Structure 1
Amino acid sequence: MIAKLFEPITFRNVTLKNRIVMSPMCMYSCFEQDGKITNWHKTHYPSRAVGQVGLIIVESSAVHPQGRISMQDLGIWNDSHVEGLQELVGLIHEQGAKAAIQLGHAGRKAIVEGPIYSASPLPFKEGMEQPEEMSIEQIKKTVEDFQAAARRSKEAGFDIIEIHGAHGYLINQFLSPLTNERTDEYGDSKEKRFRILREIITAVKSEFDGPLFVRISANDYHPKGYTVEDYEDYATWMKDLGVDLIDCSSGAVVPAKINPYPGYQVQYADYLRSKANVATGAVGMITSPLHAEEILQNERADLIFLARELLRDPYWPRRAANELNVELAPPKQYTRGW
């Protein structure tokens, strides 16, 4: 049996050489607080491409300075960010990987100077800043911010864009009934709560014709929140809008106790892949190559997203190839030690 983990896969006009994806993880390394690429980013990301990861997704990059998760986050809110991102994409491409970027806005979870915003004026938890409820004009401006970020992503040469609609950040704050108490056209029903994401997807696609992924939190872990069954509608609507893959994470829209175990989120990728007939990515404590292969062989997901495991081991694909009896060609510089 050929290891599916190392089979190529194509989304629109982009072919990944394998199914191994570096999940976006904030590096908090923009120490000038300008959102620009630093030497750390230029070392960190290409090293995983050298390690033979098929797709590198650059960390959540803020579409507006008030949408940063922290003041040290990457940004894509200004044309001045393009040059550094373009250099980073070139470094990733040189090592044979494809490059994606995650576009995000932290909403009420932003830790920045000045006001923060959300669907409704509800703080994430006691002791955290209360956000301002976004006006219709501010929502429209945020959609435009995502559109401009998509244009810059294309200029920088990214192969794929992922929209961050998970982990309790702004889009997730609109999607969940726990955080969206609006009674206007952006709340009060599932269709209306989805409206901002619909508009963002449409705006991004107007500027970027490559593959589009969306990361979701498929379970709110709250009795009054959404579960993966509720996300079936969202997944179907996203597919109808032309989203190519749904990256299935969970939680963090409200404080909740989660009991994680290896592959605890694979069920969400499996469910939405089956019910909405859309490609999915599995993420969450997947560390074993055999486990990753089992997920793909049983068609529970289309891509394997690795996060902390690639922090621990940039050469995880080499270990996976050895365990799965796959001949993985090394970079020529490493041939004598591979």
Structure 2
Amino acid sequence: MSAALFEPVTLRSVTIPNRIWMAPMCQYSAVASGEDAGVPHDWHFAHYAARATGGTGLILVEATAVSAEGRISPHDLGLWNDRQTEAFGRIAGFLKRHGTVPGIQLGHAGRKSGTDAPWRGGAPLALDEGGWRPLAPSPVAFGERHLVPDELTEEGIAEIVGQFAAAARRARTAGFEVIEIHGAHGYLIGEFLSPHSNHRTDRYGGSLENRVRFALEVVDAVRAVWPEELPLFFRVSATDWLERDGWTPDDTVAFAALLKEHGVDLLDVSSGGNATGVRIPVGPGYQVPFAARVRRETGLPVAAVGLITEPGQAEKIVAGGEADAVLLGRELLRNPSFARQAARELDAQVYAPEPYGYAIH
């Protein structure tokens, strides 16, 4: 029997050659200011090209901000101008030429914006250190060291919805074939979803119906400009890992059904990131049950992520129907050719560039 991990999957008109996909992982390596702010450069090209030539079926480029103030850090990538669009075209084109479907995650960091790179501590930057005032659904800081964000007006919300749509148009111009909307990890869309961070009393707060409104407006705006034949993904945190007053797995299932109705083709199921001081039971595949439940109860295709590090483990997840694909993060940082390793172990075939043939056969 062939390995389920290496069966192609078709979403709308796009066929992804295998089920080993690269999760979006910020590199915090772009130029921070000036005309090259947010522009991918040689580091980003080499980083993604290596995973493509390693056989990865789909690569989701790291969280890319829809506006300058939407960046997590000053060194994040962005997609709000032509210079950025052109540079992304080089990356998307290379991925496609080497058998990988090019995708990109679009996001806005909300109250978690304006922080330093993780290897410098990841602390919020003061305004005189290159930081900026964050935006959020409510004036509630993420942590003690974070600035209290400015509460978005309805006009401000509409402006950001438009920024997502504009970035989606640019993504298509650059040659990407999949867009993922970042609604996880306590960034802006996730902040609206959770009652932990959303204390609004207008039509964007309170009930679940109101708290998902902004997310669905973004989805609708992106879907309206994104070609009908191309798939749209959404990343969600399945739980805030809070005992009360947080986003829950039940909420995720209800929300997934709505996303399906609004034209989302796959849910990327992660967790956490919206509350400090929580205990997360981290272990191999610890988030897979959340993805499996969404798939089982809504019929929406899902990708599982979180400490998936072994070919046999990944094969079991897909073959057992827990997810339609696996998204690898740190394991692909350690091993860009994970897909080729998995193909050898599972006696399957995977793309390899001809110049690497000496090492493959």
Shift of 1:185: 0.8
Aligned partner (choices 35, 41, 44) of residue 47 of structure 2: 44
Deviation at 1:327, TM superposition (A): 3.4
Do structure 1's residue 152 and structure 2's residue 170 form an aligned pair?
yes
Post-superposition Cα deviations, 1:187-207, rounded to whole Å, max 9, x if no partner, equal 111000000011100100111
Flag structure 2 segments of 5+ consecutive residues without an equivalent.
Answer: 115-129
| Residues 1-338 of structure 1: pairs in structure 2 closer than 5 A | 1-33=1-33, 34-111=37-114, 113-209=131-227, 210-224=230-244, 225-255=246-276, 256-338=278-360
Instruction: State the distance in 1 between where 2:275 and 2:133 align.
Output: 20
Q: What displacement does 1:259 show?
A: 2.3
Deviation at 1:325, TM superposition (A): 1.4
Alignment partner, residue 125 of structure 2 = none
Q: Residue 32 of structure 1: CA displacement?
A: 4.3
Structure 1 unmatched ranges of 5 or more: none
Residues 114-154 of structure 1: per-residue CA shift (max 9 Å, x gap): 22110100001112111011011100000000010011011
**1:329 shift after superposition:** 4.8
Aligned length: 338
How high is the sequence identity, in percent, across the aligned residues? 46
Structure-1-length-normalised TM-score: 0.98
TM value normalised by structure 2? 0.92
**Deviation of 1:276 (Å):** 1.2
Change (3 A) 1:180 1:32: closer
Report Cα offsets for 1:73-98 as digits up to 9, x if no partner: 00012232110011111111121101
CA RMSD between the two structures: 1.0
CA distance in 1: counterparts of 2:350 and 2:296, whole angstroms: 31
Runs of 4+ aligned structure 1 residues displaced above 6 Å come to none
Cα displacement string for residues 246-283 of structure 1 (whole angstroms, at most 9, x for unaligned residues): 00000011112212100000001100001111000000
* Distance in 2, Cα, partners of 1:208 & 1:97: 20
Distance 1:308 1:181 in 2: 34
